[in-house]
């Protein structure tokens, strides 16, 4: 892919920090693409975590994420940077969803993708479809809470819930490479870190199922069942060698940010370390320093700043710098957390590559690093750490 980084050595173009411009990234947390062409009004709601139209008289393009999109995406649609949003959307429609998706996915320079299938699965592409559009392997990550909601929708009882959930989660994970929890969206991390008793689960399931039937919507927000899900997931993760991803921090209005500080999870993280389960903290802004701290002190904790670089655009290098402050280089991962919008798979990749190379170049210039170590750091974050903590991708 094209970036501002130029190889400094013609004989070995990928040496040192400039490897960041070329290496195939493993995007260890993203979602499926929306297959079809979308209207501007819909597109705007997809580039804002408000999920609604911008206030009257304004547009979501007038945000860091919109400006960054206008800076780097138009050339991939044969347009000039900073062309008007209406021209961009017209050209996008003209090319059509499949062609736009293909262009951005392929320009992202990914080696493989790990896809969370638990959010709005009916609106977006499946892992096999993602493989088709991108030409690279696409693996599934199973969202624990979504499985519980599916079990409820199919119909079960308070007494039957625990067994049905365990069986379904086990079945769904047979081909999966990891688990995912959205506890951060369902009350946050100030939880009792221990597993609930079987009796507590049965009672909580009875109440929760009844509430879901009454409202016609099964939304997993029961504290006892959320804890239960984490522990059933943990046991499965332990026995299958799967890591568990956690949504942390930056996200939409459904969460309460002050309850998304991942250090609130410390006791659960320790419990997972005790049984040998790796935990991957996703996004983390504005708690990325706290995530880096956890990655330093807990052997089983990893983190990324997925989606955050897209949303902080011109300032995103700052976030990556802070993510590189404290945590071991062996504990950081790459992800885009892209959902639906093709541009997002590309933008995070491009920003990550440019800023990582620039930061490492700066470290070398100041005597804090050398080319060989910089190259190793790039490989660790881009692919090696993912390969070590996920089950074999073969």
Contact region for a copy of itself (CB under 8 A) — 32-40, 130-138, 227-235, 298-306?
298-306
Positions in 71-100 near a copy of itself (CB under 8 A): 71-72, 81-82
Query: Which one of 125-133, 204-212, 236-244, 308-316 is the stretch in contact with a copy of itself (CB under 8 A)?
Result: 308-316
Binding window for a copy of itself (CB under 8 A); candidates: 206-214, 223-231, 340-348, 376-384: 376-384
Coil, helix or strand for 35?
coil
Ranges within 328-357 binding a copy of itself (CB under 8 A)? 328-330
Site string for a copy of itself, 29-68 (x = CB under 8 A): -------------------xxx-x-xx-xx-x-xxx--xx
Alpha helices in the chain, H assignment, sequence order: 40-46, 64-72, 85-95, 97-107, 127-134, 144-154, 158-172, 198-215, 223-240, 266-275, 288-297, 308-312, 316-323, 342-365, 371-379, 385-389
Which uninterrupted H or E stretch holds 115? strand 110-116
Total interface residues for a copy of itself by CB under 8 A: 72
Shortest distance in whole angstroms from residue 275 CB to a copy of itself: 15
Cβ(304)–Cβ(270) below 8 Å: no
Rank residues 82 and 393 by Cβ distance to a copy of itself and give the closer one: 82
Residue from 249, 118, 258, 274 nearest 194 by CA: 274
Q: How far is the CB of 120 from a copy of itself (least distance, A)?
A: 18
∠ CA 4-382-335 to the nearest 5 degrees? 90
Least separation in angstroms between CB 188 and a copy of itself = 11
Q: Are 161 and 201 in contact (CB under 8 A)?
A: yes
Residue 313-332 contact track with a copy of itself, rule CB under 8 A, x = bound: xxxx-xx-xx-xxxxxxx--
- What's the 3-state SS for 313-333? HHHHHHHHHHHCCCCCHHHEC
Task: Tell me, residue by residue from 198 to 237, as one string, x for binding to a copy of itself by CB under 8 A and - for no binding.
Answer: ----------------------------------------
């Amino acid at each position: 892919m094209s970036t501002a980084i130029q190889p400094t050595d013609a004989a070995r173009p990928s040496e040192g920090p400039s490897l960041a411009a070329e290496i195939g990234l493993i995007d260890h947390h993203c979602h499926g693409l929306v297959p079809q062409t979308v209207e501007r009004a819909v597109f705007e709601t997809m580039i804002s975590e408000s999920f609604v139209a911008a206030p009257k008289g304004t547009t979501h393009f007038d945000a860091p994420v919109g400006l960054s999109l206008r800076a780097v995406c138009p050339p991939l649609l044969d347009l000039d940077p900073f062309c008007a949003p209406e021209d961009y959307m017209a050209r996008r429609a003209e090319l059509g969803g499949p062609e736009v998706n293909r262009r951005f996915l392929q320009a992202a320079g990914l080696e493989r993708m790990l896809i969370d299938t638990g959010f709005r699965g009916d609106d977006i592409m499946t892992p096999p479809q993602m493989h088709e559009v991108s030409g690279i392997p696409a693996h599934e990550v199973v969202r624990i809470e979504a499985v519980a909601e599916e079990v409820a929708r199919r119909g079960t009882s308070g007494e039957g819930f625990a067994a049905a959930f365990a069986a379904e989660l086990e079945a769904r994970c047979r081909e999966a490479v990891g688990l995912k929890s959205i506890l951060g969206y369902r009350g946050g991390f100030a939880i009792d870190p221990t597993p609930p008793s079987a009796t507590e689960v049965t009672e909580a399931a009875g109440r929760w199922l009844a509430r879901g039937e009454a409202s016609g919507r099964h939304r997993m927000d029961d504290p006892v069942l959320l804890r239960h899900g984490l522990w059933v997931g943990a046991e499965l993760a332990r026995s299958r060698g799967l890591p568990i991803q956690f949504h942390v921090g930056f996200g939409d209005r459904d969460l309460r940010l002050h309850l998304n500080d991942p250090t609130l999870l410390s006791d659960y993280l320790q419990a997972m370390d005790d049984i040998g389960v790796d935990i991957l903290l996703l996004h983390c802004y504005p708690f990325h320093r706290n995530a880096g701290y956890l990655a330093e002190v807990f052997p089983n904790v990893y983190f990324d700043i997925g989606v955050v670089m897209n949303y902080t655009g011109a300032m995103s290098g700052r976030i990556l710098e802070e993510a590189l402050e404290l945590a071991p280089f062996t504990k950081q991962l790459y992800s885009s957390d892209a959902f639906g919008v093709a541009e997002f798979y590309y933008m995070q990749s491009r920003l990550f590559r440019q800023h990582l190379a620039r930061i490492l170049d700066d470290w070398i210039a100041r005597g804090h690093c050398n080319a060989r170590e910089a190259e190793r750091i790039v490989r660790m974050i881009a692919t090696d750490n993912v390969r070590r903590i996920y089950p074999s991708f073969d």
